[in-house]
Amino acid sequence: MMTISRRSLLLGALMSAVMLSACGKKEEAAAPVPAAAPVAQVKEYVVGTDAAYAPFEFENEKKQVEGFDIDVLSAVADKAGFKVKFVNTPWEGIFATLAQGDRDIVISAVTITDERKQSMDFSEPYFEARQLIAVGKGVTDVKKFADLKGKKVAVQTGTTGDEVVQKLLGKTSADIKRFESTPLALKELESGGVQAVVADNGVVVNYLKNNSSNGISTVEDRESFAPEFYGMAIKKGNAELQGKLNEGIKAIKADGTYDKIYAKYFGEKK
């Protein structure tokens, strides 16, 4: 029979105790990793604009849309905390894109009218305009709007210029020639196809500024044409977006941003 020393027994007992202690020890739970705070998503709105209405909206040589309206809405979006994506959209049918959900906002020198308010909502006004009469070379007998009776007049389809000329000459008058854009109507005036054009003053003045040798002159008739106000159109009932737009418009007017944009395209306000 083998004799086991006391030293060996003591060593074995110590090792057993260590092993039992290790087996009985519970592993400490790893500290939970705090969840990352959710990143706030900046809302992007799709904006329809007919880029054939300089200086309000037009395409540059790179086919990028720019202009007064583009700068204004971009500044509004920056102040109100959202993004905008501009999409060149033909004027005819541009308002239908709001109801269909293809566009969230339409900014395209859109005059706020009671008729339009029935099918869409608007931001607060951001620009004041008037209708202006442009007459061709040699036309000297037009001193006021009523003098256009009996003359051939060009307008851009669906604009307020189109509406006021219809009231004067008749909705189905053969003397009204309609075009997809005001510059095209003014080209027709240059070529002698019509004797006058009625359109928003900002567009007419900009065109004449860049086409000074065409012989076109302008006639103002403030008694016949009431001031018009441009607004940003949105889908009927979208109060949240309307509030954001109004917040941004108020902010850019308060801090001088609007005046800087205005001066860029029209000169200093008088």
Q: For residue 199, what are the β-bridge partners?
A: 132
Residues 79 and 124 in one domain: yes
Inside any domain, residue 97: yes
CB atoms within 10 A of CB 61: 5
**CATH number of the domain bearing residue 170:** 3.40.190.10
Unique residue bearing structure tokens 């905008």: 84
pLDDT for residue 225 is more than 50: yes
Residues 210 and 143 in one domain: yes
Inside any domain, residue 38: no
Residues 74 and 196 in one domain: no
What is the chain's mean pLDDT, rounded? 89
Tokens of 122: 């608007």
* pLDDT band, residue 21 (cuts 50/70/90): low
Q: What number of H helices and E strands is found in the chain?
A: 9, 15
Residues 120 and 142 in one domain: no
Q: What is the pLDDT of residues 115-165, one digit of tens each?
A: 999 999 999 999 999 999 999 999 999 999 999 999 999 999 989 999 999
Owning domain of residue 70: 44-128+229-266
Residues 120 and 57 in one domain: yes
With contact defined as beta carbons under 8 Å apart, do 186 and 134 qualify? yes
Instruction: Say how many domains are in the chain.
Output: 2
Residue 198, pLDDT score: 98
For 232-241, what is the mean pLDDT?
97
Q: What is the pLDDT of residues 181-208, one digit of tens each?
A: 899 999 999 999 999 999 999 999 889 8
Residues 136 and 211 in one domain: yes
